[in-house]
Amino acid sequence: MTPIISVANLSKTYGSGFKALNGINLEIKRGEIFALLGPNGAGKTTLISIICGIANPSEGRVTVDGHDINRDYRAARSMIGLVPQELHTDAFESVWATVSFSRGLFGKPKNPAHIEKVLKELSLWDKKDSKIVTLSGGMKRRVMIAKALSHEPQILFLDEPTAGVDVELRKGMWEVVRALQASGVTIILTTHYIEEAEEMADRIGVINKGEIILVEEKAGLMQKLGKKHLKLHLQSKVDAIPASLAAYGLELSDDGRTVTYDYDTRGERTGITSLLSDLRAAGIRISDLDTSQSSLEDIFVSLVRAS
Amino acid sequence: MNFRAVRAIYLFEMARTWRTLLQSIVSPVVSTSLYFVVFGAAIGSRIAEVEGVSYGTFIVPGLVMLSVLTQSIANASFGIYFPKFVGTIYELLSAPVSYFEIVLGYVGAAATKSIILGLIILATAALFVPLHIMHPWWMLTFLVLTAVTFSLFGFIIGIWADGFEKLQMIPMLVVTPLTFLGGSFYSVNMLPEGWRTITLLNPVVYLISGFRWSFYEIADVSIGLSVGMTLGFLVVCMVLVWWIFKTGYRLKN
Protein backbone atom coordinates (compact mmCIF):
# COMPACT_ATOMS: atom_id res chain seq x y z
CA MET A 1 0.00 0.00 0.00
CA THR A 2 1.32 3.45 -0.84
CA PRO A 3 2.19 5.58 2.16
CA ILE A 4 -0.29 8.31 3.04
CA ILE A 5 2.50 10.77 3.80
CA SER A 6 5.84 10.67 2.15
CA VAL A 7 8.67 12.98 3.22
CA ALA A 8 11.76 12.97 1.04
CA ASN A 9 15.07 14.61 1.82
CA LEU A 10 13.45 17.38 3.81
CA SER A 11 15.65 20.08 5.32
CA LYS A 12 14.83 23.29 7.08
CA THR A 13 17.24 26.05 7.96
CA TYR A 14 15.79 29.01 9.81
CA GLY A 15 16.71 32.58 9.02
CA SER A 16 18.97 32.59 12.06
CA GLY A 17 21.04 29.84 10.43
CA PHE A 18 19.76 27.18 12.79
CA LYS A 19 19.29 23.91 10.95
CA ALA A 20 16.13 22.42 12.43
CA LEU A 21 15.77 19.51 10.01
CA ASN A 22 18.48 17.74 8.10
CA GLY A 23 17.60 15.41 5.24
CA ILE A 24 14.49 13.80 6.72
CA ASN A 25 13.05 10.78 4.94
CA LEU A 26 9.88 9.37 6.39
CA GLU A 27 6.84 7.46 5.25
CA ILE A 28 3.64 7.22 7.21
CA LYS A 29 1.45 4.24 6.53
CA ARG A 30 -2.23 4.57 5.90
CA GLY A 31 -4.31 4.01 9.02
CA GLU A 32 -1.50 3.70 11.51
CA ILE A 33 -0.77 5.54 14.72
CA PHE A 34 2.74 6.88 14.38
CA ALA A 35 4.50 8.31 17.40
CA LEU A 36 7.30 10.77 16.84
CA LEU A 37 9.58 10.94 19.84
CA GLY A 38 12.43 13.29 20.44
CA PRO A 39 13.85 15.64 23.03
CA ASN A 40 12.93 19.32 23.04
CA GLY A 41 14.26 21.13 20.00
CA ALA A 42 14.74 17.91 18.05
CA GLY A 43 12.63 19.18 15.14
CA LYS A 44 9.31 17.43 15.79
CA THR A 45 7.19 20.56 15.58
CA THR A 46 9.14 21.92 12.62
CA LEU A 47 8.53 18.70 10.71
CA ILE A 48 4.80 18.80 11.47
CA SER A 49 4.63 22.51 10.60
CA ILE A 50 6.13 21.91 7.17
CA ILE A 51 3.82 19.00 6.36
CA CYS A 52 0.82 21.10 7.40
CA GLY A 53 1.87 24.21 5.46
CA ILE A 54 2.75 26.47 8.38
CA ALA A 55 6.45 26.64 7.60
CA ASN A 56 8.25 26.54 4.28
CA PRO A 57 10.84 23.83 3.75
CA SER A 58 14.33 24.82 2.66
CA GLU A 59 14.79 21.63 0.67
CA GLY A 60 12.98 18.42 -0.06
CA ARG A 61 9.52 17.29 -0.95
CA VAL A 62 6.43 16.19 0.92
CA THR A 63 3.41 14.47 -0.56
CA VAL A 64 0.14 13.75 1.20
CA ASP A 65 -1.76 10.91 -0.43
CA GLY A 66 0.17 11.68 -3.60
CA HIS A 67 -0.53 15.42 -3.49
CA ASP A 68 2.50 17.67 -3.35
CA ILE A 69 2.09 20.02 -0.38
CA ASN A 70 3.15 23.04 -2.44
CA ARG A 71 1.78 22.44 -5.90
CA ASP A 72 -1.38 20.74 -4.78
CA TYR A 73 -1.80 22.32 -1.37
CA ARG A 74 -5.58 22.37 -1.39
CA ALA A 75 -5.92 18.63 -1.83
CA ALA A 76 -3.11 17.94 0.62
CA ARG A 77 -4.30 20.26 3.37
CA SER A 78 -7.96 19.26 3.07
CA MET A 79 -6.98 15.84 4.33
CA ILE A 80 -5.14 17.05 7.40
CA GLY A 81 -6.34 18.07 10.84
CA LEU A 82 -3.71 19.70 13.04
CA VAL A 83 -3.64 20.13 16.80
CA PRO A 84 -0.59 22.22 17.60
CA GLN A 85 1.36 22.02 20.79
CA GLU A 86 0.68 25.50 22.09
CA LEU A 87 -2.79 26.44 23.22
CA HIS A 88 -3.79 28.81 20.44
CA THR A 89 -7.47 29.59 20.67
CA ASP A 90 -9.76 32.50 20.04
CA ALA A 91 -10.98 34.11 23.19
CA PHE A 92 -14.41 35.62 22.80
CA GLU A 93 -16.00 33.22 20.36
CA SER A 94 -18.18 30.38 21.58
CA VAL A 95 -16.95 26.82 21.33
CA TRP A 96 -19.60 26.09 18.75
CA ALA A 97 -18.68 29.12 16.63
CA THR A 98 -14.97 28.43 16.61
CA VAL A 99 -15.40 24.75 15.72
CA SER A 100 -17.90 25.61 12.96
CA PHE A 101 -15.49 28.25 11.66
CA SER A 102 -12.79 25.60 11.23
CA ARG A 103 -15.12 23.43 9.20
CA GLY A 104 -15.94 26.34 6.90
CA LEU A 105 -12.28 27.28 6.58
CA PHE A 106 -11.55 23.81 5.29
CA GLY A 107 -14.26 24.20 2.69
CA LYS A 108 -16.69 21.68 4.07
CA PRO A 109 -20.46 22.31 3.94
CA LYS A 110 -22.22 22.92 7.24
CA ASN A 111 -22.93 19.79 9.23
CA PRO A 112 -24.23 20.54 12.74
CA ALA A 113 -24.73 16.83 13.40
CA HIS A 114 -21.03 16.16 12.88
CA ILE A 115 -19.97 19.09 15.08
CA GLU A 116 -22.35 17.85 17.75
CA LYS A 117 -20.85 14.37 17.56
CA VAL A 118 -17.30 15.71 17.86
CA LEU A 119 -18.17 17.95 20.80
CA LYS A 120 -19.93 15.10 22.59
CA GLU A 121 -17.02 12.73 22.05
CA LEU A 122 -14.68 15.26 23.56
CA SER A 123 -17.05 16.01 26.47
CA LEU A 124 -17.50 19.60 25.31
CA TRP A 125 -21.16 19.48 24.48
CA ASP A 126 -22.34 21.25 27.62
CA LYS A 127 -19.77 23.99 26.93
CA LYS A 128 -20.81 24.60 23.34
CA ASP A 129 -22.16 28.09 24.05
CA SER A 130 -19.40 29.10 26.46
CA LYS A 131 -16.81 31.64 25.45
CA ILE A 132 -13.45 29.97 25.01
CA VAL A 133 -11.78 32.40 27.39
CA THR A 134 -13.83 30.94 30.25
CA LEU A 135 -12.58 27.38 29.69
CA SER A 136 -9.81 25.57 31.54
CA GLY A 137 -6.56 24.61 29.82
CA GLY A 138 -7.65 21.01 29.34
CA MET A 139 -10.91 22.12 27.77
CA LYS A 140 -9.12 24.52 25.44
CA ARG A 141 -6.92 21.65 24.35
CA ARG A 142 -10.04 19.65 23.54
CA VAL A 143 -11.51 22.61 21.67
CA MET A 144 -8.42 22.56 19.48
CA ILE A 145 -8.89 18.86 18.87
CA ALA A 146 -12.54 19.48 18.04
CA LYS A 147 -11.48 22.16 15.53
CA ALA A 148 -9.10 19.73 13.89
CA LEU A 149 -11.79 17.04 13.70
CA SER A 150 -14.51 19.43 12.54
CA HIS A 151 -13.64 18.94 8.88
CA GLU A 152 -13.38 15.15 9.01
CA PRO A 153 -9.67 14.83 8.25
CA GLN A 154 -8.13 11.57 7.09
CA ILE A 155 -4.88 12.43 8.79
CA LEU A 156 -4.64 13.87 12.27
CA PHE A 157 -1.53 15.49 13.70
CA LEU A 158 -1.42 15.69 17.47
CA ASP A 159 1.56 17.68 18.71
CA GLU A 160 1.90 16.92 22.42
CA PRO A 161 -1.86 16.46 22.76
CA THR A 162 -1.97 15.51 26.40
CA ALA A 163 0.31 18.18 27.83
CA GLY A 164 -1.56 19.77 30.71
CA VAL A 165 -4.49 17.38 30.50
CA ASP A 166 -5.41 15.41 33.60
CA VAL A 167 -5.28 11.64 33.72
CA GLU A 168 -9.01 11.05 33.37
CA LEU A 169 -9.29 13.29 30.33
CA ARG A 170 -6.18 11.84 28.83
CA LYS A 171 -7.77 8.40 28.88
CA GLY A 172 -10.87 9.82 27.23
CA MET A 173 -8.73 11.46 24.60
CA TRP A 174 -6.96 8.24 23.75
CA GLU A 175 -10.30 6.52 23.41
CA VAL A 176 -11.22 9.14 20.83
CA VAL A 177 -7.92 8.56 19.05
CA ARG A 178 -8.47 4.79 18.98
CA ALA A 179 -12.00 5.28 17.64
CA LEU A 180 -10.60 7.56 14.93
CA GLN A 181 -8.04 4.97 13.96
CA ALA A 182 -10.77 2.37 13.81
CA SER A 183 -12.64 4.62 11.36
CA GLY A 184 -9.57 4.73 9.12
CA VAL A 185 -7.88 7.96 10.22
CA THR A 186 -4.09 8.02 10.21
CA ILE A 187 -2.69 9.58 13.37
CA ILE A 188 0.71 11.11 13.90
CA LEU A 189 1.46 12.19 17.42
CA THR A 190 4.34 13.56 19.38
CA THR A 191 4.41 13.12 23.08
CA HIS A 192 6.65 13.43 26.06
CA TYR A 193 4.75 10.71 27.84
CA ILE A 194 6.63 7.78 26.44
CA GLU A 195 4.30 5.30 28.06
CA GLU A 196 1.60 6.78 25.85
CA ALA A 197 3.56 6.10 22.71
CA GLU A 198 4.25 2.67 24.07
CA GLU A 199 0.58 2.08 24.66
CA MET A 200 -0.88 3.78 21.59
CA ALA A 201 1.51 3.66 18.66
CA ASP A 202 1.88 1.08 15.95
CA ARG A 203 5.20 2.50 14.84
CA ILE A 204 7.67 4.78 16.49
CA GLY A 205 10.09 7.25 14.98
CA VAL A 206 12.83 8.86 16.99
CA ILE A 207 14.11 12.25 15.90
CA ASN A 208 17.10 14.04 17.36
CA LYS A 209 19.00 17.12 16.23
CA GLY A 210 16.90 17.33 13.08
CA GLU A 211 17.56 13.78 11.94
CA ILE A 212 15.41 10.68 12.08
CA ILE A 213 17.55 8.20 13.91
CA LEU A 214 15.13 5.32 13.94
CA VAL A 215 11.74 4.22 12.61
CA GLU A 216 10.49 0.87 13.77
CA GLU A 217 7.42 -1.15 14.54
CA LYS A 218 6.87 -0.63 18.21
CA ALA A 219 6.79 -4.32 19.08
CA GLY A 220 9.90 -4.98 17.05
CA LEU A 221 11.67 -2.03 18.57
CA MET A 222 10.92 -3.16 22.07
CA GLN A 223 12.11 -6.64 21.30
CA LYS A 224 15.10 -5.60 19.28
CA LEU A 225 16.47 -3.10 21.67
CA GLY A 226 14.84 -4.34 24.82
CA LYS A 227 17.37 -5.32 27.42
CA LYS A 228 16.10 -7.47 30.21
CA HIS A 229 17.18 -7.20 33.78
CA LEU A 230 17.48 -10.15 36.11
CA LYS A 231 17.28 -9.22 39.75
CA LEU A 232 18.58 -11.75 42.24
CA HIS A 233 17.66 -11.43 45.88
CA LEU A 234 20.36 -12.91 48.08
CA GLN A 235 19.82 -14.98 51.18
CA SER A 236 22.56 -13.17 53.02
CA LYS A 237 24.34 -9.88 52.61
CA VAL A 238 27.56 -9.79 50.59
CA ASP A 239 30.16 -7.02 50.80
CA ALA A 240 31.48 -7.26 47.28
CA ILE A 241 31.01 -9.25 44.10
CA PRO A 242 33.60 -12.03 44.00
CA ALA A 243 36.29 -11.61 41.37
CA SER A 244 35.24 -14.87 39.73
CA LEU A 245 31.97 -13.19 38.68
CA ALA A 246 33.52 -9.99 37.27
CA ALA A 247 32.82 -10.98 33.65
CA TYR A 248 29.04 -10.75 34.17
CA GLY A 249 29.07 -7.04 34.96
CA LEU A 250 26.86 -7.49 37.95
CA GLU A 251 25.61 -4.60 39.99
CA LEU A 252 25.35 -4.92 43.72
CA SER A 253 22.77 -2.89 45.60
CA ASP A 254 23.86 -0.61 48.44
CA ASP A 255 22.46 -2.90 51.10
CA GLY A 256 24.40 -5.84 49.60
CA ARG A 257 21.26 -7.95 49.30
CA THR A 258 20.37 -7.79 45.59
CA VAL A 259 22.38 -8.27 42.46
CA THR A 260 21.22 -7.09 39.04
CA TYR A 261 22.29 -8.72 35.80
CA ASP A 262 21.51 -7.17 32.39
CA TYR A 263 21.11 -9.47 29.44
CA ASP A 264 20.01 -9.27 25.89
CA THR A 265 17.16 -11.47 24.67
CA ARG A 266 18.52 -11.20 21.12
CA GLY A 267 21.79 -12.84 22.08
CA GLU A 268 22.31 -16.51 21.39
CA ARG A 269 23.25 -17.02 24.96
CA THR A 270 21.74 -15.00 27.73
CA GLY A 271 24.35 -16.22 30.19
CA ILE A 272 21.76 -16.85 32.86
CA THR A 273 22.47 -20.55 33.29
CA SER A 274 26.19 -20.09 33.72
CA LEU A 275 25.66 -17.09 36.01
CA LEU A 276 23.49 -19.14 38.31
CA SER A 277 25.98 -22.00 38.50
CA ASP A 278 28.90 -19.62 38.98
CA LEU A 279 27.00 -17.93 41.81
CA ARG A 280 26.53 -21.26 43.48
CA ALA A 281 30.20 -22.06 43.02
CA ALA A 282 31.04 -18.73 44.70
CA GLY A 283 28.84 -19.75 47.62
CA ILE A 284 26.16 -17.11 47.06
CA ARG A 285 22.65 -18.38 47.70
CA ILE A 286 19.56 -16.88 46.14
CA SER A 287 16.24 -16.43 47.90
CA ASP A 288 14.21 -15.00 44.97
CA LEU A 289 14.55 -13.64 41.48
CA ASP A 290 12.59 -11.50 39.03
CA THR A 291 13.10 -10.16 35.55
CA SER A 292 12.01 -6.92 33.93
CA GLN A 293 12.17 -5.46 30.43
CA SER A 294 13.37 -1.97 29.59
CA SER A 295 10.63 0.49 28.77
CA LEU A 296 10.48 2.54 25.64
CA GLU A 297 11.74 5.42 27.71
CA ASP A 298 14.97 3.59 28.50
CA ILE A 299 15.38 2.74 24.84
CA PHE A 300 14.68 6.30 23.87
CA VAL A 301 17.13 7.78 26.31
CA SER A 302 19.89 5.43 25.24
CA LEU A 303 19.23 6.17 21.55
CA VAL A 304 19.29 9.90 22.01
CA ARG A 305 22.46 9.71 24.06
CA ALA A 306 24.14 7.62 21.40
CA SER A 307 23.28 9.92 18.51
CA MET B 1 -12.08 28.80 -5.17
CA ASN B 2 -12.88 27.88 -1.56
CA PHE B 3 -15.97 30.08 -1.17
CA ARG B 4 -16.88 28.44 2.12
CA ALA B 5 -13.56 29.53 3.58
CA VAL B 6 -13.98 33.11 2.37
CA ARG B 7 -17.46 33.11 3.86
CA ALA B 8 -16.20 31.63 7.14
CA ILE B 9 -13.46 34.28 7.49
CA TYR B 10 -15.79 37.08 6.46
CA LEU B 11 -18.54 36.07 8.89
CA PHE B 12 -16.00 35.49 11.67
CA GLU B 13 -14.66 39.01 11.22
CA MET B 14 -18.12 40.52 10.97
CA ALA B 15 -19.11 38.68 14.16
CA ARG B 16 -16.20 40.42 15.84
CA THR B 17 -17.65 43.74 14.66
CA TRP B 18 -21.07 43.06 16.12
CA ARG B 19 -19.54 41.81 19.34
CA THR B 20 -17.55 45.01 19.73
CA LEU B 21 -20.33 47.24 18.49
CA LEU B 22 -19.58 50.01 20.94
CA GLN B 23 -15.97 50.26 19.96
CA SER B 24 -16.56 49.58 16.27
CA ILE B 25 -19.47 51.85 15.45
CA VAL B 26 -20.49 54.00 18.36
CA SER B 27 -17.12 55.54 19.19
CA PRO B 28 -16.31 56.73 15.65
CA VAL B 29 -19.80 58.21 15.41
CA VAL B 30 -19.35 60.03 18.71
CA SER B 31 -15.93 61.40 17.75
CA THR B 32 -17.22 62.54 14.37
CA SER B 33 -20.11 64.29 16.05
CA LEU B 34 -17.55 66.07 18.21
CA TYR B 35 -15.77 67.28 15.08
CA PHE B 36 -19.04 68.68 13.86
CA VAL B 37 -19.63 70.50 17.10
CA VAL B 38 -16.07 71.88 17.30
CA PHE B 39 -15.25 72.56 13.67
CA GLY B 40 -18.70 72.92 12.21
CA ALA B 41 -20.57 74.85 14.85
CA ALA B 42 -17.93 76.63 16.94
CA ILE B 43 -15.24 77.45 14.40
CA GLY B 44 -17.40 77.15 11.32
CA SER B 45 -19.65 79.95 12.45
CA ARG B 46 -16.69 82.32 12.04
CA ILE B 47 -15.67 81.05 8.63
CA ALA B 48 -17.57 82.26 5.64
CA GLU B 49 -18.61 79.87 2.94
CA VAL B 50 -15.93 77.77 1.23
CA GLU B 51 -16.35 77.86 -2.51
CA GLY B 52 -20.03 78.48 -2.21
CA VAL B 53 -20.78 75.89 0.43
CA SER B 54 -21.25 76.54 4.14
CA TYR B 55 -18.27 75.41 6.22
CA GLY B 56 -20.22 72.77 8.16
CA THR B 57 -21.40 71.19 4.93
CA PHE B 58 -17.96 71.52 3.35
CA ILE B 59 -16.23 69.37 5.94
CA VAL B 60 -18.69 66.45 5.77
CA PRO B 61 -16.93 64.47 3.00
CA GLY B 62 -13.57 65.03 4.67
CA LEU B 63 -14.90 63.77 7.99
CA VAL B 64 -16.41 60.68 6.41
CA MET B 65 -13.10 59.98 4.68
CA LEU B 66 -11.21 60.53 7.91
CA SER B 67 -13.28 57.84 9.61
CA VAL B 68 -13.26 55.45 6.68
CA LEU B 69 -9.48 55.71 6.34
CA THR B 70 -8.65 55.24 9.99
CA GLN B 71 -11.28 52.56 10.59
CA SER B 72 -10.32 50.57 7.50
CA ILE B 73 -6.72 50.50 8.64
CA ALA B 74 -7.61 49.78 12.26
CA ASN B 75 -10.02 46.96 11.42
CA ALA B 76 -7.95 45.19 8.84
CA SER B 77 -4.67 45.53 10.71
CA PHE B 78 -6.16 44.24 13.94
CA GLY B 79 -8.08 41.51 12.14
CA ILE B 80 -4.93 39.85 10.85
CA TYR B 81 -2.60 40.93 13.65
CA PHE B 82 -4.68 39.32 16.38
CA PRO B 83 -4.48 35.73 15.04
CA LYS B 84 -0.74 36.26 14.68
CA PHE B 85 -0.55 37.54 18.24
CA VAL B 86 -2.57 34.74 19.88
CA GLY B 87 -1.26 32.09 17.50
CA THR B 88 -4.52 31.06 15.85
CA ILE B 89 -2.91 31.97 12.52
CA TYR B 90 -1.71 28.35 12.42
CA GLU B 91 -5.17 27.30 11.36
CA LEU B 92 -5.33 29.82 8.54
CA LEU B 93 -1.94 28.72 7.23
CA SER B 94 -2.77 25.02 7.43
CA ALA B 95 -6.18 25.38 5.79
CA PRO B 96 -6.78 24.68 2.10
CA VAL B 97 -7.22 28.36 1.30
CA SER B 98 -5.36 30.50 -1.19
CA TYR B 99 -3.85 33.82 -0.23
CA PHE B 100 -6.39 35.55 -2.37
CA GLU B 101 -9.18 33.93 -0.38
CA ILE B 102 -7.63 34.95 2.93
CA VAL B 103 -7.31 38.56 1.75
CA LEU B 104 -10.81 38.52 0.34
CA GLY B 105 -12.23 37.39 3.69
CA TYR B 106 -10.30 39.78 5.91
CA VAL B 107 -10.20 42.82 3.66
CA GLY B 108 -13.79 42.26 2.57
CA ALA B 109 -14.98 42.28 6.17
CA ALA B 110 -12.87 45.29 7.15
CA ALA B 111 -14.04 47.25 4.10
CA THR B 112 -17.68 46.30 4.70
CA LYS B 113 -17.41 47.58 8.22
CA SER B 114 -15.92 50.91 7.24
CA ILE B 115 -18.41 51.40 4.42
CA ILE B 116 -21.26 50.85 6.87
CA LEU B 117 -19.53 53.22 9.25
CA GLY B 118 -19.06 55.85 6.55
CA LEU B 119 -22.75 55.71 5.71
CA ILE B 120 -23.70 55.98 9.38
CA ILE B 121 -21.48 59.03 9.76
CA LEU B 122 -23.02 60.53 6.67
CA ALA B 123 -26.44 60.01 8.21
CA THR B 124 -25.21 61.55 11.47
CA ALA B 125 -23.88 64.54 9.53
CA ALA B 126 -27.26 65.00 7.93
CA LEU B 127 -28.60 65.72 11.42
CA PHE B 128 -26.21 68.66 11.80
CA VAL B 129 -26.02 70.19 8.34
CA PRO B 130 -28.04 70.12 5.13
CA LEU B 131 -26.50 67.56 2.78
CA HIS B 132 -26.69 67.32 -0.93
CA ILE B 133 -25.01 64.57 -2.93
CA MET B 134 -24.71 65.48 -6.62
CA HIS B 135 -23.15 62.22 -7.80
CA PRO B 136 -24.30 59.45 -5.45
CA TRP B 137 -22.76 56.69 -7.58
CA TRP B 138 -19.41 58.42 -7.66
CA MET B 139 -19.72 58.98 -3.94
CA LEU B 140 -20.29 55.23 -3.39
CA THR B 141 -17.49 54.36 -5.79
CA PHE B 142 -15.03 56.52 -3.88
CA LEU B 143 -16.28 55.18 -0.58
CA VAL B 144 -15.86 51.54 -1.62
CA LEU B 145 -12.56 52.15 -3.38
CA THR B 146 -11.12 53.94 -0.37
CA ALA B 147 -12.42 51.37 2.09
CA VAL B 148 -10.94 48.50 0.10
CA THR B 149 -7.63 50.23 -0.55
CA PHE B 150 -7.05 51.21 3.05
CA SER B 151 -8.25 47.88 4.37
CA LEU B 152 -5.57 46.31 2.20
CA PHE B 153 -3.10 48.83 3.57
CA GLY B 154 -4.21 47.93 7.09
CA PHE B 155 -3.82 44.23 6.30
CA ILE B 156 -0.22 44.93 5.30
CA ILE B 157 0.41 46.84 8.53
CA GLY B 158 -1.13 44.00 10.52
CA ILE B 159 1.23 41.51 8.95
CA TRP B 160 4.25 43.77 9.26
CA ALA B 161 3.61 44.65 12.90
CA ASP B 162 5.23 42.42 15.49
CA GLY B 163 3.92 44.33 18.48
CA PHE B 164 1.00 46.51 19.44
CA GLU B 165 3.22 49.57 19.27
CA LYS B 166 3.97 49.07 15.60
CA LEU B 167 0.32 48.36 15.00
CA GLN B 168 -0.53 51.84 16.25
CA MET B 169 2.51 53.61 14.85
CA ILE B 170 1.62 53.96 11.16
CA PRO B 171 -2.00 55.00 11.77
CA MET B 172 -0.97 57.49 14.45
CA LEU B 173 2.18 58.93 12.94
CA VAL B 174 1.43 58.76 9.24
CA VAL B 175 -2.22 58.31 8.40
CA THR B 176 -3.82 60.68 10.89
CA PRO B 177 -1.48 63.61 10.06
CA LEU B 178 -1.87 62.99 6.34
CA THR B 179 -5.63 62.97 6.71
CA PHE B 180 -5.72 66.15 8.77
CA LEU B 181 -3.36 67.85 6.32
CA GLY B 182 -5.17 66.36 3.35
CA GLY B 183 -7.93 68.90 3.25
CA SER B 184 -10.51 67.34 5.55
CA PHE B 185 -11.18 70.68 7.17
CA TYR B 186 -10.14 73.13 4.46
CA SER B 187 -9.79 73.53 0.75
CA VAL B 188 -6.27 73.17 -0.51
CA ASN B 189 -6.88 76.37 -2.47
CA MET B 190 -7.01 78.24 0.83
CA LEU B 191 -3.32 77.52 1.42
CA PRO B 192 -0.44 79.75 0.35
CA GLU B 193 1.23 78.72 -2.91
CA GLY B 194 4.25 76.90 -1.41
CA TRP B 195 2.20 74.81 0.99
CA ARG B 196 -0.24 73.97 -1.72
CA THR B 197 2.48 72.36 -3.80
CA ILE B 198 3.70 70.37 -0.81
CA THR B 199 0.16 69.30 0.01
CA LEU B 200 -0.22 67.86 -3.45
CA LEU B 201 2.35 65.22 -2.46
CA ASN B 202 -0.13 63.94 0.12
CA PRO B 203 -2.11 61.06 -1.40
CA VAL B 204 -5.04 61.65 0.93
CA VAL B 205 -5.68 65.01 -0.78
CA TYR B 206 -6.77 63.18 -3.92
CA LEU B 207 -9.16 60.91 -2.02
CA ILE B 208 -10.84 63.72 -0.15
CA SER B 209 -10.93 65.95 -3.19
CA GLY B 210 -12.59 63.30 -5.31
CA PHE B 211 -15.02 62.37 -2.59
CA ARG B 212 -15.95 66.00 -2.02
CA TRP B 213 -16.43 66.50 -5.73
CA SER B 214 -19.05 63.71 -5.74
CA PHE B 215 -20.98 65.78 -3.18
CA TYR B 216 -20.62 69.38 -4.31
CA GLU B 217 -18.62 69.32 -7.55
CA ILE B 218 -15.91 71.21 -5.69
CA ALA B 219 -12.47 69.72 -6.12
CA ASP B 220 -8.88 70.65 -5.38
CA VAL B 221 -7.63 68.46 -8.18
CA SER B 222 -9.32 66.99 -11.23
CA ILE B 223 -11.64 64.05 -10.68
CA GLY B 224 -9.66 61.91 -13.11
CA LEU B 225 -6.51 62.48 -11.09
CA SER B 226 -8.37 61.54 -7.90
CA VAL B 227 -9.59 58.27 -9.34
CA GLY B 228 -6.17 57.57 -10.82
CA MET B 229 -4.31 58.18 -7.57
CA THR B 230 -6.74 56.03 -5.60
CA LEU B 231 -6.44 53.17 -8.07
CA GLY B 232 -2.67 53.64 -8.07
CA PHE B 233 -2.49 53.21 -4.32
CA LEU B 234 -4.81 50.20 -4.55
CA VAL B 235 -2.42 48.57 -7.01
CA VAL B 236 0.58 49.32 -4.80
CA CYS B 237 -1.17 47.65 -1.85
CA MET B 238 -2.15 44.65 -3.95
CA VAL B 239 1.42 44.16 -5.13
CA LEU B 240 2.65 44.36 -1.54
CA VAL B 241 0.11 41.79 -0.35
CA TRP B 242 1.03 39.52 -3.26
CA TRP B 243 4.68 39.80 -2.28
CA ILE B 244 3.92 39.11 1.39
CA PHE B 245 2.19 35.85 0.60
CA LYS B 246 4.66 34.85 -2.06
CA THR B 247 7.57 35.12 0.33
CA GLY B 248 5.71 34.20 3.51
CA TYR B 249 6.98 37.45 5.03
CA ARG B 250 6.24 37.53 8.78
CA LEU B 251 3.81 34.64 8.30
CA LYS B 252 5.95 31.61 7.69
CA ASN B 253 9.35 31.53 9.30
pLDDT in tens, B165-182: 988 888 888 888 888 888
Q: Would the pTM count as exceeding 0.80?
A: yes
Residues above pLDDT 70, as percent of chain A? 98
| Interface A:B, Cβ pairs < 8 A | 76
Ranges A67-71, A87-91, B8-12: which has the least confidence: A87-91
Q: How confident is the model at residue B68 (pLDDT cuts 50, 70, 90)?
A: very high
Yes or no, beta carbons of B2 and A86 under 8 Å apart? no
Q: How confident is the model at residue A224 (pLDDT cuts 50, 70, 90)?
A: low
> What pLDDT is stored for residue B76 in this prediction?
94
**Chain A nearest C-alpha distance from B90 (Å):** 6
Residues A171-187 have a mean pLDDT of: 91
Among A105, A131, A154, the residue to mutate for chain B (most B Cβ within 10 A)? A105
> Looking at the DSSP assignment, which residues form a beta bridge with residue B80?
none
> What pLDDT is stored for residue A49 in this prediction?
94
B128 at interface of A, judged by CB pairs closer than 8 A: no
> What pLDDT is stored for residue A225 in this prediction?
63
> For residue A147, is pLDDT > 70?
yes
Task: Give chain A as a DSSP string.
Answer: ---SEEEEEEEEE-TTS-EEEEEEEEEE-TT-EEEEE--TTSSHHHHHHHHHTSS--SEEEEEETTEETTTTHHHHHHTEEEE-SS----SSSBHHHHHHHHHHHTTPPP-HHHHHHHHHHTT-GGGTTSBGGGS-HHHHHHHHHHHHHTT--SEEEEESTTTT--HHHHHHHHHHHHHHHHTT-EEEEE-S-HHHHHHH-SEEEEEETTEEEEEEEHHHHHHHH-EEEEEEEESS--SS--GGGGGG--EE-TTSSEEEEEEETTSS---HHHHHHHHHHTT--EEEEEEEE--HHHHHHHHHHH-
Q: How confident is the model at residue A226 (pLDDT cuts 50, 70, 90)?
A: low
Task: Search chain B and give the residue with CA nearest A153.
Answer: B95
A17 at interface of B, judged by CB pairs closer than 8 A: no
Yes or no, beta carbons of A106 and B9 under 8 Å apart? no
> Shortest CB distance from A147 goes to which of B12, B91, B252?
B91
Residues B34-54 have a mean pLDDT of: 80
Q: Is B209 exposed, middle or buried (0-12, 13-18, 19+ CB in 10 A)?
A: buried
Residues A177-181 have a mean pLDDT of: 93
Residues A257-281 have a mean pLDDT of: 84
> What pLDDT is stored for residue A26 in this prediction?
96
Per-window interface: B 70-109 vs A, CB < 8 A = 86-88, 90-98
Residues B99-115 have a mean pLDDT of: 94
Task: Search chain A and give the residue with CA nearest B93.
Answer: A54
Residues B29-58 have a mean pLDDT of: 81
> For residue A227, is pLDDT > 80?
no
B199 at interface of A, judged by CB pairs closer than 8 A: no
> What pLDDT is stored for residue B231 in this prediction?
92
B54 at interface of A, judged by CB pairs closer than 8 A: no
Taking the C-alpha atoms of residue A175 and residue A142, their distance in angstroms, rounded to an integer, is: 13
**Chain A nearest C-alpha distance from B52 (Å):** 50
> For residue A193, is pLDDT > 80?
no
Q: Which of the pair, A192 or A104, is modelled with greater confidence? A: A104
> For residue A236, is pLDDT > 90?
no
> What pLDDT is stored for residue B12 in this prediction?
93
Chain-wide mean pLDDT for chain A?
Answer: 89
Ranges A57-66, A268-277, B74-83: which has the least confidence: A268-277
pLDDT in tens, A197-207: 888 899 999 89
> What pLDDT is stored for residue B170 in this prediction?
84
Chain-wide mean pLDDT for chain B?
Answer: 88
Residues above pLDDT 90, as percent of chain B? 46
> What pLDDT is stored for residue B6 in this prediction?
96
Q: Which of the pair, A13 or B219, is modelled with greater confidence? A: A13
Residues A119-135 have a mean pLDDT of: 93
> For residue A266, is pLDDT > 70?
no
- A147: which chain B residues are within 8 Å (Cβ-Cβ)? 91
Residues B133-144 have a mean pLDDT of: 94
